[in-house]
Structure 1
Amino acid sequence: MVSRAHRIAIVARTVRLVPALLVCALVGTACGGGVHGTPGGSGVRDPYFPKAGNGGYDVTHYGLRLDYDPDAHHLTGTATLTARATEALSAFNLDLLGLAVGKVTVGGETARWNRAGQELTVRPGEDLDRHETFRVTVHYSGAPETVTDPDGSQEGWLRTTDGALALGEPTGSTAWFPGNHHPSDKASYDLTVTVPRGLRAVSNGELLSERTARGRTTFVWRTAEPMASYLATLAIGDFGISRSTARDGLPVYTAVDPAEKEGSRAVLARIPEVLRWAERRFGPYPFSSTGAIVDRAADVGYALETQSRPVFPGAPDMTLLVHELAHQWYGDSVSPESWRDMWLNEGFATYVEWLWQEDHGGPSAQATFDAVYSGDHFDTEEAGEAIWEFPPAEPPSAARISDPPVYWRGAMVLHKIRQVVGDEAFGDILRGWAAAHRHGNADTADFTAYVEEQAPGKDFDGIWEDWLYGEGKPERA
């Protein structure tokens, strides 16, 4: 018998005479270049949600077909994902919580699969090549779950008085469709949903069609621009619908629970006004439609910047409306690279509130900054002290990524930048940042580098060290 080491030596001496693939065969090892696939990762190593998302592929489109029976609390779904393999894959994972899987196909061929927690591992009949575009279809059904976040709030699939509301920040979207559920992987969406006649199904983007047959109504929604899965929403219920247009014919579609109709009318009518102001401040509106969903306050405990159509818990006031519409630029179009970067969402949207007040007869942003710093802005001393508990760019845990420092101290970082560069250059930074990462993702390092590039010769070290990453309450100077 010739030893393995001897065989390798023989091959090495004759390698110039032997084609590369034959060398691989003689040695008995795999050649490089992705000839054989490996399993994709079961997460993207997010610092707070390590199992969120999956490695090895990039989703470009979700095609979701859903049928929901509110009385039985039963969801039947078919999800078809179009994706591109970023490495050669023998298997890949999807995130799906709770719901029972009936069948999985890849490229139309039945694929093997297994479940472990929220991880649905799919093994196609043949390995996927690097850069290959493929389609995976998952048939599933069951009672979708309500998810309790680390901070105690509820998301996922929320049962409401007259239907349901699906919300996804940070991981609740796993409760109603399989996918790559991390903000770093954005995709377009087509959603077809069927519900009992008399109820409406409202989602992101634009309503393409609505038809009723045999006592059930089917709604077809399309979101053409890239969207992170946590920004996808579906509201099912007895909504009053209003359709209008804003500038340049931008469709405005609002869905309001009848109990919230009177309280919401005046504020929602100002959506076009807020968008005109925001476009002057931050650049073109990034999506092809806008609007709002207003459900009963008792059915949902918070507002959320769901893409193109924010969700509100009862009638919003102007400050909340401005905040959630600001997210369409900062958070929805420019999305966080990981959940550590939440201050790029919430600090920006909070500072936009200050700018709106400054431009509409309220206190200047400087006055608001001063009041926040001193604690006078808050109703209690404890609330004023809470904003200094940790630096906005480094929340201590998943339970605290939406805590006050992320909002208030995040906004203060932006104001400190404005103090250094001046109003005109600061306005350019806000518009340029939204344009540079339009429909993409960015992290804190991207932002600090961008600011420094736009203001050469300015010193931002103190802002980054004391306000963005520093512990405790910084000195004002």
Structure 2
Amino acid sequence: MAFSRSTRQHRPLPPHRPFRRRSARLAAVATAVAAACVISAAPATASGAPTPGAPGIGDSYFPGLGNGGYDVQHYDLDIGYAPDTGRLDGRTTVTARATQRLSAFDLDLQQLDVASVEVNGRPAAFVRDGDELRIRPARPLAKGRLFTATVTYGGTPRPLGGPIVFGSNYGWLRTKDGVFVGCEPNAASTWFPSSDHPADKATFDIRVRAPKGLTAISNGRLVSTRDRGGSTITHWRESRPMATYLATATIGKFDVRTGRTPGGIPVYVAKDPSLPPGGVDFYGVTAAVTDYWSQVFGPYPFEETGAIVDDTPEAEFSLETQSKPLYSGVRSEWTIAHELAHQWFGDSVSVARWKDIWLNEGFASYAEWLWAEHKGTGSAHDAFRAAYAARKADDPFWKIDVADPQRDTMFSRAVYSRGAMTLQALRERIGDRAFFRLLPLWTARHRYGNASTADFVALAEQVSGQDLGSLFATWLSSRNKPDLP
């Protein structure tokens, strides 16, 4: 994610037929009321008996995000959106594997109203508890078995805000002609039910129904586009595992250009035609950066690269949505280099817990310095020294533990810049040969998975043959300005 300079550098739908008739909605409400006592008052059971899954995945920054008792394998989203009213109607099927004998389980879902829930095709009891959707299937779910949960829902998604992203709203952001959808870290569950934590990645099919004349863009490859009445239904498929916050369903008027990079990777770039002409060449820079990072970081991990460039100044950030980064008010060659580096660091290799966010942002910020080296406009060594010199010893910048920055400062400048400094200090300590062997080995070892700071330190020590604990402790966690190496 990149923020604007003030924070971080560098068509109406026709009447929509509901998914269920009104009687079904009323029955679902009655079922939910009856289920509330059943779900909340589940008695203690003997060892080996079915039990409810945990309501969170165990992340101290977001205790309610993600869920226990199962591992999501795939999301099938079918949503319809009316830009004139802001109404969203959805039907999401979650395919998951039970990791325990489940009597009940949760999904994360904010704001929206639930009409019905089915588990393995049978009606299931459910109840809302804040941002948790608690579900009790008609029969317990066996450990190790796949199951499906289908949720029919609707409402008007609202963006989130607060100190996490320096006051910028994020999530489902309405625009003059549609919606800009950028959800890091916790807003995916404002538009679809999910296990909304990067530790539970899955593949996706995303179908978006929007008024004719608008383009709906999501992750992965475009499967089909078809018209029905006054609407266009667009089907996208992300066949590589993806964290929920990286999903998008951005809708609006776009000029689309497709092709391949010189290295042969498919490219899809969509740009809002209302943006002024000139400026950065998103197609050309995206193609060049993707190919170069493929040489430095290892093979490109997804089926397509690209960009979604929207006129959304109120979104004071750009985001590494998987396969097609989103760009709002932050648009530059360096931002493109940053967001595309995230395809390796953050998207393919995702954090195990949000406290390790520097593994995303520090690496992507360091990639900007590597891009400058590649372009011949400056060295990472000089960028490191300049960033270091710009911060006085008493600057609060040095008081943040980048390895555990705390929730409300997890996107602070220190996480970005000090994270990048840590990587340059590591490079100067172990040498270019070991450093540039480490980066692709890291992305290969944890491809499509999750990792932690401890994992990276261990791999860096393995590759270099050096004890690097003090280096990482100094540059990531010391509360004083370190001495230069």
Q: Does TM, normalized by the shorter one, top 0.5?
A: yes
**Matched residue type, 1:391:** D
Task: Give the corresponding residue for 1:414.
Answer: 423
Matched, 1:148 2:157: no
Matches within 5 A, 1:30-45: 32=47, 34=48, 36-45=49-58
Structure 1 window deviating more from structure 2 (79-88 vs 260-269): it is 260-269
Task: Give the corresponding residue for 2:403.
Answer: 393
Q: Within 1, Cα distance between the matches of 2:329 and 2:426?
A: 35
Q: Per-residue deviation at 1:449?
A: 1.0
Q: Per-residue deviation at 1:172?
A: 0.6
Please state whether the residue corresponding to 2:170 is helix, strand or coil. strand
Query: Do the aligned partners of 1:391 and 1:470 also contact (CA within 8 Å) in 2?
Result: yes
Task: Give the corresponding residue for 2:439.
Answer: 430
Task: Give the corresponding residue for 2:84.
Answer: 71
Select the residue among 283, 288, 299 that pairs with 2:298. 283
Task: Give the corresponding residue for 2:472.
Answer: 464
Structure 1 window deviating more from structure 2 (334-343 vs 155-164): it is 155-164
Select the residue among 404, 409, 422 that pairs with 2:413. 404
Q: Deviations over 1:308-345 (max 9, x none)?
A: 00000147211111000000000000000011010000
Question: Is the alpha carbon distance of 1:297 and 1:125 closer, same or farther for their aligned partners in structure 2, counting shifts above 3 Å?
Answer: closer
Query: Do the aligned partners of 2:318 and 2:330 also contact (CA within 8 Å) in 1?
Result: no
Query: Do the aligned partners of 2:78 and 2:90 also contact (CA within 8 Å) in 1?
Result: yes
Please state whether the residue corresponding to 2:461 is helix, strand or coil. helix
Q: Within 1, Cα distance between the matches of 2:454 and 2:368?
A: 24
Matched-pair identity in %: 45
Matches within 5 A, 1:18-33: 32=47
Structure 1 window deviating more from structure 2 (337-346 vs 413-422): it is 413-422
Q: Within 2, Cα distance between the matches of 1:299 and 1:464?
A: 36
Q: Deviations over 1:24-83 (max 9, x none)?
A: xxxxx9664x3x210111111212111111111000000000011111211110000000
Question: Is the alpha carbon distance of 1:321 and 1:386 closer, same or farther for their aligned partners in structure 2, counting shifts above 3 Å?
Answer: farther
Please state whether the residue corresponding to 1:428 is helix, strand or coil. helix
Matched, 1:242 2:257: yes
Q: Which runs of 5+ in 2 are unaligned?
A: 1-43
Q: How many residues align?
A: 440
Matched, 1:200 2:210: no
Q: Which runs of 5+ in 1 are unaligned?
A: 1-28
Question: Is the alpha carbon distance of 1:77 and 1:243 closer, same or farther for their aligned partners in structure 2, counting shifts above 3 Å?
Answer: same
Matched, 1:92 2:105: yes
**Matched residue type, 2:408:** A
Query: Do the aligned partners of 1:156 and 1:174 also contact (CA within 8 Å) in 2?
Result: no
Q: Per-residue deviation at 1:284?
A: 0.3
Question: Is the alpha carbon distance of 1:115 and 1:258 closer, same or farther for their aligned partners in structure 2, counting shifts above 3 Å?
Answer: same
**Matched residue type, 2:241:** P
Q: Within 2, Cα distance between the matches of 1:291 and 1:324?
A: 11
Please state whether the residue corresponding to 2:327 is helix, strand or coil. strand
Query: Do the aligned partners of 2:338 and 2:365 also contact (CA within 8 Å) in 1?
Result: yes
Please state whether the residue corresponding to 1:393 is helix, strand or coil. coil
Q: Per-residue deviation at 1:475?
A: 1.6
Query: Do the aligned partners of 1:429 and 1:454 also contact (CA within 8 Å) in 2?
Result: yes
CA root-mean-square deviation:
1.7
Q: Within 2, Cα distance between the matches of 1:117 and 1:159?
A: 24
Matches within 5 A, 1:80-229: 80-151=93-164, 152-229=167-244
Q: Within 1, Cα distance between the matches of 2:249 and 2:419?
A: 30
Task: Give the corresponding residue for 1:20.
Answer: none
Q: Per-residue deviation at 1:459?
A: 3.0
Please state whether the residue corresponding to 1:450 is helix, strand or coil. helix
Task: Give the corresponding residue for 1:474.
Answer: 482
Please state whether the residue corresponding to 2:152 is helix, strand or coil. strand
Query: Do the aligned partners of 1:388 and 1:405 also contact (CA within 8 Å) in 2?
Result: yes
Please state whether the residue corresponding to 1:222 is helix, strand or coil. strand
Matched, 1:324 2:334: no
Query: Do the aligned partners of 1:386 and 1:405 also contact (CA within 8 Å) in 2?
Result: no
Task: Give the corresponding residue for 2:34.
Answer: none
**Matched residue type, 1:172:** A
Structure 1 window deviating more from structure 2 (64-73 vs 255-264): it is 255-264
Task: Give the corresponding residue for 2:284.
Answer: 269
Query: Do the aligned partners of 2:45 and 2:51 also contact (CA within 8 Å) in 1?
Result: no
Q: Deviations over 1:433-463 (max 9, x none)?
A: 011101100011111111111122x231321
Task: Give the corresponding residue for 2:37.
Answer: none
Task: Give the corresponding residue for 1:7.
Answer: none
Q: Per-residue deviation at 1:398?
A: 1.2
Select the residue among 71, 83, 87 that pairs with 1:58. 71
Task: Give the corresponding residue for 1:14.
Answer: none
> Stretches of 4+ moved more than 4 A in 1?
29-32
TM superposition score normalised by structure 2: 0.88
Q: Within 1, Cα distance between the matches of 2:159 and 2:287?
A: 34
**Which protein shows a greater Rg?**
1
Query: Do the aligned partners of 1:279 and 1:285 also contact (CA within 8 Å) in 2?
Result: yes
Please state whether the residue corresponding to 1:146 is helix, strand or coil. coil
Q: Per-residue deviation at 1:465?
A: 2.1
Structure 1 window deviating more from structure 2 (150-159 vs 275-284): it is 150-159
Query: Do the aligned partners of 1:227 and 1:332 also contact (CA within 8 Å) in 2?
Result: yes
Q: Within 2, Cα distance between the matches of 1:459 and 1:448?
A: 9
